[in-house]
């Protein structure tokens, strides 16, 4: 059984994003980029299924310019067997990525696609669901637990009211939530080995997909700032402020 894991390279989660002075986008130059944390969790889930003998191959895929190969190297170092790069210098929006993924799924015929539930840059939370729709596969988003069975997979999902378990017939798309697992770190020898592994290159044209952006970002700006607050020196002072000044209690 083959598992496909799409990964995205994003601004590291420890860095606070800033708008460019002219509002044309987010300032990324010179800042640390990392794999999207949810994609690391997806990769970890796939690798564990392989280690448990339930999957035979883990294929990582990333779409974008040459820099996304860095993310694929990390995926290889973590344990992906192969890496596919869909090369494009276009701004790739979720629908376009879902179409690229669909085309790759038709070539690679994985039984399972595990994606992060959202990328922490655009926070869209769309791609996995869109892919499931395009393939007419079942979908389980926000996975907190994955149990593979014969021809099916049971997924515990985190919901607004608790959890629910979905039983999906394979093939299926799963998107990962934070508590599915704790991803491993890549070891130095594996990082070195990953540098020498081949990365297979594809293009949207070869895959027959038009990736022209549909949405247009007009402006990026800092959100409204809260006025600076104060420190109070006692519980009594806090309560007095909440009652008389803020009038919330």
Partner 1 sequence: MENRILLVAELGSEGHLKSSIRSLLTAARSLEGEIDVLVWGGDTTFAVAEARRLPGIRRVLNGVGPTLADGLAEMLCALVQPLARQYTHILTAATVIGKNWMPRLAALEDVAMVSDIVGVESSDTFVRPIYAGSVWATVCCPEPLKLVTVRSTAFPGVEGEGADPVAVENLPCPEALPQSTRIAVHTHVQEGRPSLENARVVVSGGRGLGSAEHYEALLGPLADELNAALGASRAAVDLGYAPNDVQVGQTGKVVAPDLYIAIGISGAIQHLAGMQTSRVIVAINKDPDAPIFTVADYGLVGDLNVLVPELTAALQK
Ligand X SMILES: Cc1cc2nc3c(=O)[nH]c(=O)nc-3n(C[C@H](O)[C@H](O)[C@H](O)COP(=O)(O)OP(=O)(O)OC[C@H]3O[C@@H](n4cnc5c(N)ncnc54)[C@H](O)[C@@H]3O)c2cc1C
135-174 residues in contact with partner 1 (CB under 8 A) are 137-142, 144, 154, 157-169, 172
Please choose, out of 45-53, 69-77, 78-86, 209-217, the segment that lies near partner 1 by the rule CB under 8 A: 209-217
Q: In the numeric block, which tokens belong to residue 190?
A: 């594996």
| Kind and range of the H or E run holding 131 | helix 127-135
Q: How far is the CB of 56 from ligand X (least distance, A)?
A: 29
**Integer Cα distance of 27 and 44 in angstroms:** 30
Strands 138-149 and 152-159 come out as antiparallel
- Report, in Å, the least distance between residue 198 CB and partner 1: 31
Nearer to ligand X, 118 or 139 (CB): 118
Q: Which of 123, 150, 188, 196 binds partner 1 (CB under 8 A)?
A: 123
Please give the residue ranges that form the binding site for ligand X (CB under 6 A): 13, 37, 120, 178
Q: How far apart are CA 184 and CA 166, in angstroms?
A: 27
Q: Which of 70, 91, 108, 122 binds partner 1 (CB under 8 A)?
A: 122
Q: Which does 1 bind (CB under 5 to 8 A by kind): ligand X, partner 1, none?
A: none
User: Which lies closer to partner 1 via its Cβ, residue 62 or residue 139?
Assistant: 139
Of 83-91, 185-193, 201-209, 233-241, the window that binds partner 1 (rule: CB under 8 A) is 233-241
Under a CB-based contact definition with an 8 Å cutoff, are residues 74 and 47 in contact?
no
Name residue, tokens 């293009």.
Answer: 203
Contacts (Cβ under 8 Å, ≥6 apart) of 139: 128, 129, 132, 133, 168, 172, 173, 174, 175
48 binds, among partner 1, ligand X, none (CB under 5 to 8 A by kind): none
Q: CB–CB of 108/86 below 8 Å?
A: no
Site string for partner 1, 51-90 (x = CB under 8 A): ----------------------------------------
**Residue 119: Cβ within 10 Å count:** 23
């Amino acid at each position: 059984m083959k598992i496909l894991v799409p990964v995205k390279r994003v601004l590291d989660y420890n860095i606070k994003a800033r708008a460019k002075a002219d509002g044309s986008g987010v300032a990324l130059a010179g800042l640390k980029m990392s794999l999207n944390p949810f994609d690391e969790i997806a990769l970890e889930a796939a690798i564990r299924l392989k280690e448990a003998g339930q999957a035979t191959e883990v294929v990582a895929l990333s779409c974008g310019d040459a820099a996304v190969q860095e993310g694929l190297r990390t995926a290889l170092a973590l344990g992906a067997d192969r890496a596919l790069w869909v090369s494009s210098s276009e701004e790739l929006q979720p629908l376009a990525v879902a179409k690229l993924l669909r085309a790759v799924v038709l070539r690679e015929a994985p039984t399972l696609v595990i994606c992060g539930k959202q990328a922490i840059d655009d926070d869209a939370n769309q791609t996995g669901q869109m892919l499931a729709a395009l393939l007419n596969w079942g979908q389980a988003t926000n996975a907190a637990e994955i149990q593979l069975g014969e021809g099916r997979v049971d997924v515990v999902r985190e919901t607004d009211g608790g959890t629910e378990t979905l039983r999906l017939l394979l093939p299926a798309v799963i998107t990962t939530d934070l508590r599915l697992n704790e991803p491993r770190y890549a070891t130095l020898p594996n990082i070195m080995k990953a540098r020498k592994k081949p990365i297979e290159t594809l293009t949207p044209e070869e895959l027959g997909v038009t990736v022209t952006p549909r949405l247009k970002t007009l402006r990026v700006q800092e959100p409204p700032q809260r006025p600076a607050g104060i420190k109070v020196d006692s519980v009594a002072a806090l309560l007095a402020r909440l009652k008389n000044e803020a009038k919330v209690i």
